[in-house]
Chains A and B, each alone.
Chain A
Amino acid sequence: MSFEPKILGIACNWCTYTGADLAGTTRLQYPQNIRVVRVMCSSRINPSFIFRAFQLGADGVLVGGCHPGDCHYNTGNLYARRRLAVTKKILEFAGMEPGRFRVEWISASEGNRFAEVVREFTEQIRDLGPQTQFKISQ
């Protein structure tokens, strides 16, 4: 059987989650490997969520928030941006392939962009193969 990656998405309620809904409303097609958790703001995302996702066997993690400057909570995504940049470095330092973690700013009107990012990211993770660095076997 071919490798079907498991991808965890974490999306903010106001922009990326709504953008993902828009992708659905406009019937854009994208691979079903992504499963999205909704949080109110990308700033809610604790780096431990990302590490935990990889431990749980996620082959890739995609975080989506409002475009910098357009955060529903004014400055939340600016904190998220910094924190997630550091998270990425720590992941890489700990031996994770850089391509497995991605942060994207996708607005509520960018259904197209959401579908495009998911398609691209899924392909990328498929090429990388199963994630074994962090996974804790059950």
Chain B
Amino acid sequence: MSRIGVFVCHCGLNIAKTVRVSELAEFAATLPDVVVAKDYKFMCSTPGQEMIAHDIKAHRLDRVIVTACSPLMHEQTFRKVLAASGLNQYLLTIVNIREQVSWVTHDIDEGTAKAKALLNGAVRRARLLAPLTSRVIDVNSDVLVVGGGIAGIQAALELANTGKKVYLVEKNSTIGGHMAQFDKTFPTLDCSACILTPKMDSVLQHKNITLLTSCEVSEVKGFVGNFDITIRQKARYVDHTRCNACLACTEKCPGKAVSEWDEGLVKRKAIYIPFPQAVPQKPVIDRDACTFFKKGKCRLCEKVCEQKAIDFEQQDTFTTVKVGAVIVATGYDLMDTRALIQYGYGKYPGVYNALEVERLFNSAGPTGGKVTLRDGKEPQAIAILHCIGSRDKNNYEHCSRVCCMYSLKFAHLFKEKTSADVYQFYIDMRAAGKGYEEFYNRIIEEDVKFIRGKGARVAQSADEPDRLVVEAEDTITGKFIRLPVDMVVLSPAIIPRGDAKDIARLFNLSTDRYGFFMERHPKLAPLSTMSEGVFIAGVCQSPKDIPDTVAQANGAAAEALTIVVKDKMELEATTAMVNPASCCACQNCVRVCPYGAPFFNEAKGVSEINEALCKGCGLCASVCPPSAIIARHFTNDQVLAEMEGLLEF
């Protein structure tokens, strides 16, 4: 006999609208072992929680069922209520009648019937629940940050300033990310380098930050509090401990390759630093472009290097670090607009994408900050085309969020640096953000022409073959426009990094339909993920501007800190255990476990489970022929009883 209390939440009208909550509570009272059943408007509120706590004592409850929203939402909230009332927290059952009932039907009869069935199942299961003891484990106090853009830099600095040790991993040879490519930032037009490079330098100088450039995470083992991260240091062919950054090598090098940093607008050397303010200020050799690697002779860099830092024999190396929490901040790519052939990117030299234009404005860029076309001429008319590939059901439905604002910034800079006419082709102007609407108004007054209509096509001009024509429908006048221009700037969809999928696999992150990393909850846990101890920040989660990215990075740092600030933490008690009396010694469990938790005890002739390694998936329990393995909290009896209850009505 157990004493069960059932607490039915209305969630305002969220549940009460399509489930008759008082009828559900009355029904609950008729179920076996239920000694009290109540409904209340907001069970998660303080009075709601107090009511449960009070009833646990008053009715000497030994099981609590909360019939409310998804367990993924408030299971932890109500577990705390149980714990505070002296009841083992695992004696709680949540019945999900919001996300999986009231929100997915308009029919109150159907909703109520399904809620009753779910509750019936929960009562059956609750009667069989057992109290469990959480495991306490040691927590490693260091943190790994993946990605050295502004998000990763900010998060690393915040954490390092609290005294925690941070490993910052960046796959490129410098940190800085996209922000370092920009010249100005909207809406204040402050110089990107002036606000970013001091932070980059702080990362390099910080005694608590280990900066790992040209590195990638290659393996992730362990779990929250105890991650073992293997990092691959890609061969740089330059010994950075010897190199004194004189850069004589980069002057002599005959090898050439497209400069990724300058978005392919110019070439760089095979031994190079991406840009003059790069951190660290030390070159690497691009194996694919190096004359020696290609032809077997050259070694000019080696000859000029007084430090003897060039090392053609260098290999990739692997190191493992132990951390307690991880922040993933891997940023974004622009959509490859060559796929949208109507815009002629890659075909007409006058068509640029947004990042290329950022480099044209940049005084450290390929033109020294002068806006010139690929043939060196100054453009007389420039069209900026918004929403290329984004807000587009045929490509990416999402809004890339920053394009309206950077397009306004571009317009301002074009006006400042050239005498060209500047046209914006937009669907809607989205200027939500502090000072953004004001910036928009300012640009309107700078004589920039706004055409409300998405650019439909870019073609070569029939009359003047070296010019382009932008075709669009002006949706305000309803007229079709053909506008001759010299330069077209595309604002492409912002999409996750090409290797985001690999990162998702490594850290067990969910991704949304575009490949952005999914947060645990869109509102209440925007930086957490389904992988405990792994947090996300910046555009890898969704497109956002620099202020929001920095805010997220600070938030993620705080989240990571809540884990690593403690020496010990509690882990879910829902692990598997072996009943030695029934174990048949087949060792199926040992073979299937992804974590190596079960092991065979030769002396006793039975399998045992190392609870520290068990994550509670229950795989071993279902491959155990004599059912000797018990998956705690999801035992055969508990699952079958729940099923029985669900199917009774």
- A35 and B646 contacting across the interface, CB-CB below 8 Å: yes
- B518 and A109 contacting across the interface, CB-CB below 8 Å: yes
- A40 and B104 contacting across the interface, CB-CB below 8 Å: no
**A46 touches B (CB below 8 Å):** yes
Q: Kindly state the separation between the CA atoms of A34 and B507 in the bound complex, as whole angstroms.
A: 32
Q: A29-B104, A32-B113, A46-B636 are in contact. Are A52 and B643 (CB under 8 A)?
A: yes
Residues in chain B near residue A108, CB distance under 8 A: 510, 518, 530
Q: Kindly state the separation between the CA atoms of A43 and B107 in the bound complex, as whole angstroms.
A: 34
Contact size range, A: 35 or more
**B257 touches A (CB below 8 Å):** no
Residues in chain B near residue A73, CB distance under 8 A: 594-595, 615, 617, 619
Residues in chain A near residue B640, CB distance under 8 A: 49, 52
**B99 touches A (CB below 8 Å):** yes
- B104 and A115 contacting across the interface, CB-CB below 8 Å: yes
Q: Kindly state the separation between the CA atoms of A40 and B636 in the bound complex, as whole angstroms.
A: 13
- A43 and B104 contacting across the interface, CB-CB below 8 Å: no
Number of interface residues of B (CB under 8 A): 53
**A58 touches B (CB below 8 Å):** yes
Considering only residues 82-104 of chain A, those with a C-beta below 8 Å from chain B are: 83
Q: What are the interface flags for A1-35 relative to B under an 8 Å C-beta threshold, 1 for contact and 0 otherwise? A: 00000101000011101101111110111101001
Question: Which residue of A18, A22, A32 contacts B110 across the interface (Cβ within 8 Å)?
Answer: A32
- A18 and B104 contacting across the interface, CB-CB below 8 Å: no
- B530 and A18 contacting across the interface, CB-CB below 8 Å: yes
- Most-contacted residue by chain A among B96, B619, B634 (CB, 10 A): B619
Question: Which residue of A21, A22, A23, A39 contacts B639 across the interface (Cβ within 8 Å)?
Answer: A39
Nearest chain B CB to A91's CB is how many angstroms away?
A: 16
Residues in chain A near residue B2, CB distance under 8 A: none
Q: What is the chain B residue whose CB lies nearest that of A109?
A: B512
- A35 and B619 contacting across the interface, CB-CB below 8 Å: no
Q: Kindly state the separation between the CA atoms of A83 and B282 in the bound complex, as whole angstroms.
A: 54
Q: Kindly state the separation between the CA atoms of A35 and B121 in the bound complex, as whole angstroms.
A: 10
Q: Kindly state the separation between the CA atoms of A39 and B382 in the bound complex, as whole angstroms.
A: 58
- Most-contacted residue by chain A among B113, B530, B595 (CB, 10 A): B530
Q: What number of A-B contacts does a CB cutoff of 8 Å give?
A: 138
Q: Kindly state the separation between the CA atoms of A39 and B616 in the bound complex, as whole angstroms.
A: 10
**A70 touches B (CB below 8 Å):** yes
Q: What is the chain A residue whose CB lies nearest that of B114?
A: A32
**A126 touches B (CB below 8 Å):** no
**A76 touches B (CB below 8 Å):** yes
Nearest chain A CB to B210's CB is how many angstroms away?
A: 28
Nearest chain B CB to A48's CB is how many angstroms away?
A: 8
Q: What is the chain A residue whose CB lies nearest that of B112?
A: A32
- A37 and B639 contacting across the interface, CB-CB below 8 Å: yes
Residues in chain A near residue B106, CB distance under 8 A: 29
Q: What is the chain B residue whose CB lies nearest that of A48?
A: B636
Q: What is the chain B residue whose CB lies nearest that of A21?
A: B99
Residues in chain A near residue B105, CB distance under 8 A: 29-30, 32
Residues in chain B near residue A58, CB distance under 8 A: 647
- A41 and B617 contacting across the interface, CB-CB below 8 Å: yes
Q: Kindly state the separation between the CA atoms of A56 and B643 in the bound complex, as whole angstroms.
A: 8
- B103 and A27 contacting across the interface, CB-CB below 8 Å: yes
Residues in chain B near residue A24, CB distance under 8 A: 70, 98-101, 103-104
Nearest chain A CB to B627's CB is how many angstroms away?
A: 8
Q: What is the chain A residue whose CB lies nearest that of B633?
A: A40
Residues in chain A near residue B642, CB distance under 8 A: 37
Q: Kindly state the separation between the CA atoms of A52 and B646 in the bound complex, as whole angstroms.
A: 12
Residues in chain B near residue A41, CB distance under 8 A: 617-619
**B623 touches A (CB below 8 Å):** yes
Measuring CB to CB, which residues of chain B are less than 8 angstroms from any residue of chain A?
Answer: 70-72, 96, 98-101, 103-107, 110-111, 113-114, 117-118, 121, 504-505, 508, 510-513, 518, 530-531, 574, 592, 594-595, 615-619, 621-623, 631, 634, 636, 639-640, 642-644, 646-648
Measuring CB to CB, which residues of chain A are less than 8 angstroms from any residue of chain B?
Answer: 6, 8, 13-15, 17-18, 20-25, 27-30, 32, 35-41, 43-46, 48-49, 52-53, 56-58, 69-70, 72-76, 79, 83, 107-110, 115
Instruction: Pick 24 A–B contacts, CB within 8 A, sort by A.
Output: A8-B647, A13-B72, A17-B72, A18-B72, A20-B100, A27-B104, A32-B104, A35-B646, A35-B647, A36-B96, A38-B71, A39-B639, A41-B618, A43-B622, A44-B618, A44-B619, A44-B622, A46-B622, A52-B643, A56-B648, A69-B505, A74-B508, A79-B623, A108-B530
Kindly list 15 other residue pairs between chains A and B, CB separation below 8 angstroms, not including A37-B121, A37-B639, A44-B631.
A8-B647, A14-B530, A21-B99, A30-B105, A32-B111, A37-B643, A38-B71, A41-B618, A43-B619, A56-B647, A70-B505, A72-B508, A72-B530, A73-B595, A79-B623
